[in-house]
Amino acid sequence: MIDFEAFCKEIGENANREGLKDTPTRIKKLYEHLFNGYQKDPKIALGSTFNQENFDEMIVLKNIEFYSMCEHHMLPFFGHIHIGYIPNKLLAGIGGLARVVDIFSKRLQIQERLTSELANILMEILQPKGVMVICEATHLCMRMQGIEKQHATIHTSALRGIFKSDSKTRAEFISLLKN
C-alpha cells in the first residue's frame, strides 16, 4: 500500500498526530471494501437463473444505486444504473442483477467500461434476445478539481441484441424508465 507517513510529510501533515494514528488501518479497511469486486465472480453473483421458456417480455430493473472509483483520479463517481433485458429462456433474480452491478462498480473503473461490462456479462450468462444498460453518474473529479462543475452528470448506455437493432424496443425501455 502507500507509505502513509511519507504521504503526510509530502502534503505538510504530521502522520503521528492523534487524529491520524489509526488512519492507515481505516484506509486499508475502506479500500478492501471499495475494491472487493476483484475478489468476486459475477457469474456466481448473478445466482440462480430460472428457465422460463415462454416469457419473452421486457424486464427492467431501474435505479440500482452504485458507487465506484475513477481509475484516473481515484475519486468516487456514483449514481444509478438501469438494466433492461428480454429473456430468451433464462430469467435472472433481481438481487443477482444488483450484485453484478456491485461487483463491477467495486473495481477501479471508468463509467463507459462499467456500463459495457454489465451488458456483456448479462448477454454471456443469460443469452437473452437483448440487453440495455444505462448508467447516470456524478463524478467527484468533475466537482472537486479541474473545471469544478457541480451539477454535471454523465450518461452512458450499452445496447446489445434486439436493443441495438430495434428502435421500438429501445423506445419501450426508455419509456419504462420515465414511470
Report, as residue numbers or ranges, the catalytic residues.
70-73, 111, 139, 141
Q: Report helix, strand or coil for 60.
A: strand
The C-alpha cell that represents 55 in the structure block: 416469457
Handedness of CA 156, 162, 167, 172 (dihedral sign): negative
How many other C-beta atoms lie within 10 A of the C-beta of residue 86? 22
Q: How far is residue 47's CA from residue 29's CA, in Å, rounded to a whole number?
A: 27
The amino acid occupying position 2 is: I
